[in-house]
Structure 1
């Protein structure tokens, strides 16, 4: 997710008035036309020659999922961890078919190795929040049901992890907090083994660390959230500020361990540290791993996937997933 700005009103060259503009991530015209300037054309699933990973799309009604099966799954009886990944994009952009996410999931699946499930949830403003949260909760339930043949044959449902970046990191927190919410006739779900929140998009009315204290700056930090979730109570909505007064206690996180990634040049850096500290306060320091990448910005690993720091972050994620392998 790129840095977001408050809504502006300008006039486009073709005479169609721009009524909302959020940095380079979303432009909304008076006519209803939408532009997502950063989003590259989607890529299809299939066999990835570089990693040997196979992928497929599964359509599940309002949402879909792209599944990744690494070569290691071919070993007889080899049960692999399952990683449910939630892409970023400010709740308004990107998809599981975005080239940068498809490349990253191929690499993550091969490196762990793991069965990976990348959730393609509905985006705002066509589908305002909480639609995206609801799709991801449904997708997690679907994965845990073992309904898909790849998951059933090769996944270890006792080793399920969440992972996501930016808005996807925000959604991962929501999933871990509401993991136990299930239908009355459903079997209560098992605990998740862990969650990896990469540069998670959290915010709040009160600054933490070295965040801006300027009221206008704080409003800009939440402008896109307010647009994507018009029913929100504001910056301290527990979905945007898990540490807000009155927010559900973090002891409810339905995972044994949490890894939080931050980037030195990201304006969300201090919020990531505050979240990691808050989780450690209730779950114990041993349950939380913090990684800050020096000299890099928000979701840098998607833009420079072959860089040393992107490789380091991937290695740390792999180690986190495999830390307590059976």
Structure 2
């Protein structure tokens, strides 16, 4: 919204927005919106939009590499949160559409780019709540692309700038009991926008005496985060304490910073804390792009440093050993059916378990065929997938349905 000439400014939060005393908000970053298309573009990426929560308006754009899907192999899932200072940007804008499409093409991944609610109309923690709702939606596999092409054992959370902070907070929430059923392979934080009013030593004098003026200076970030959080007090969502970082439930993490970015010191310390104290994270990769400032890779996509950063992200997504879910993760989420078509017998079970850790064991006709039928998909279709076995789940004796059923 543009402000009328002569309107009195309440908060100048450049380069993101200005607010006016009459209540209006002027965003200083314009968005050029790009429509989705299930017909693949020149880069071989098909896209489509979904509504995650009609009540809040939270939605997402899905990016599917047609070539990768054609192999028949399950694809890694990247839940991506765009940047923009929590108050600008959109999953449907040209800038973030281009990046998500490139990531999908290069990594051969199914990217879910989340369009979350923006501040100040929707103050923090709305963005974190929306990010969590999106991850929850992804884990239901309620979309055909996710059901047919997504590999639930390779789910990643990713974002740059404010989106990286959202990714962190969503993963931190997954460490709580409400996330016991969620399994995250990795986290990708690009130029995380962490901040607090308590200065780190290098933020007092970071040695940036030459070259272009940095995008951010401490005083501006103090003012910006005070506005976002409604307080001059530091908040753990903006700069997480070590105990929160230590409990993050992912197997691998990549943290990248830019050498001219004021926020780089926080990103480096975050990576160090995760490396030293992470109880579950087995691998931490830290990258620093020399001579670059905050989120440079979005605007200068062909620059060698941007290409190198994308190469590192793609390698990270495709790397790592195929490890089992973390030991603290429960697997039960929603009701489903374990069904023997030959005998027309159905036994109540659970959907969205970690199927790699389940095995059906039975006798007589109970061994014929066991399939898992998740919830109905869109267009009244059902997705039926084989059950992988690893331990005893069911026993059938002739026409008698009996237990026990074990959930691991």
- Shorter-chain TM range is 0.7 to 0.9
CA distance in 2, matches of 1:249, 1:172: 13
The alpha carbon displacement at 1:144 in A equals 1.1
CA distance in 2, matches of 1:233, 1:227: 8
> Any conservation in 1 of the 2:175–2:247 contact (CA below 8 Å)?
no
> Any conservation in 2 of the 1:43–1:98 contact (CA below 8 Å)?
yes
The alpha carbon displacement at 1:168 in A equals 0.6
Pair 234,219 (structure 1): closer, same or farther in 2 beyond 3 Å: farther
Q: Which residue among 18, 22, 29 is the counterpart of 2:13?
A: 22
SS for the counterpart of 2:174 is coil
Corresponding position of 1:152: 147
The alpha carbon displacement at 1:158 in A equals 0.7
The alpha carbon displacement at 1:116 in A equals 0.2
Q: Which residue among 219, 226, 240 is the counterpart of 1:242?
A: 240
TM-score normalised over the length of structure 2 = 0.70
Corresponding position of 2:222: 222
**Residue 276 (1) aligns with residue 271 (2):** yes
**Residue 212 (1) aligns with residue 211 (2):** no
- The superposition leaves residues 104-157 of structure 1 with CA deviations (integer Å, 9 ceiling, x where unpaired) of 111100111000000000001111111111000010010011111111110001
CA distance in 2, matches of 1:188, 1:277: 26
Corresponding position of 2:171: 176
The alpha carbon displacement at 1:40 in A equals 2.5
CA distance in 2, matches of 1:138, 1:13: 36
Q: Which residue among 36, 44, 49 is the counterpart of 2:35?
A: 44
SS for the counterpart of 1:64 is strand
CA distance in 2, matches of 1:219, 1:53: 42
> Any conservation in 2 of the 1:91–1:132 contact (CA below 8 Å)?
yes
Q: Which runs of 5+ in 2 are unaligned?
A: 207-216, 323-408
Pair 140,128 (structure 1): closer, same or farther in 2 beyond 3 Å: same
Q: Which residue among 64, 67, 87 is the counterpart of 1:72?
A: 67
**Residue 318 (1) aligns with residue 314 (2):** yes
Corresponding position of 2:138: 143
The alpha carbon displacement at 1:167 in A equals 0.7
- The superposition leaves residues 15-73 of structure 1 with CA deviations (integer Å, 9 ceiling, x where unpaired) of 21111111121011222222212222221112453311011110122210110010134
**Residue 91 (1) aligns with residue 86 (2):** yes
- The superposition leaves residues 199-247 of structure 1 with CA deviations (integer Å, 9 ceiling, x where unpaired) of 0011123322511279xx64532322222222x5722x1111113xxx6
Corresponding position of 2:22: 31
CA distance in 2, matches of 1:79, 1:94: 30
The count of aligned residue pairs is 305
> Any conservation in 1 of the 2:141–2:147 contact (CA below 8 Å)?
yes
CA distance in 2, matches of 1:301, 1:228: 25
Corresponding position of 1:131: 126
CA distance in 2, matches of 1:83, 1:278: 24
Q: Name which of structure 1's ranges 165-174 and 217-226 shifts more when overlaid on structure 2.
A: 217-226
Q: Which runs of 5+ in 1 are unaligned?
A: 1-11
CA distance in 2, matches of 1:57, 1:21: 33
Q: Which residue among 176, 188, 194 is the counterpart of 1:196?
A: 188
CA distance in 1, matches of 2:59, 2:119: 16
CA distance in 1, matches of 2:204, 2:317: 34
**Residue 122 (1) aligns with residue 114 (2):** no
Q: Name which of structure 1's ranges 75-84 and 43-52 shifts more when overlaid on structure 2.
A: 43-52
> Any conservation in 1 of the 2:69–2:75 contact (CA below 8 Å)?
no
Pair 213,220 (structure 1): closer, same or farther in 2 beyond 3 Å: farther
SS for the counterpart of 1:56 is strand
- By relative contact order (CA 8 Å, sep 6+), the higher-ranking structure is 1
> Any conservation in 2 of the 1:305–1:311 contact (CA below 8 Å)?
yes
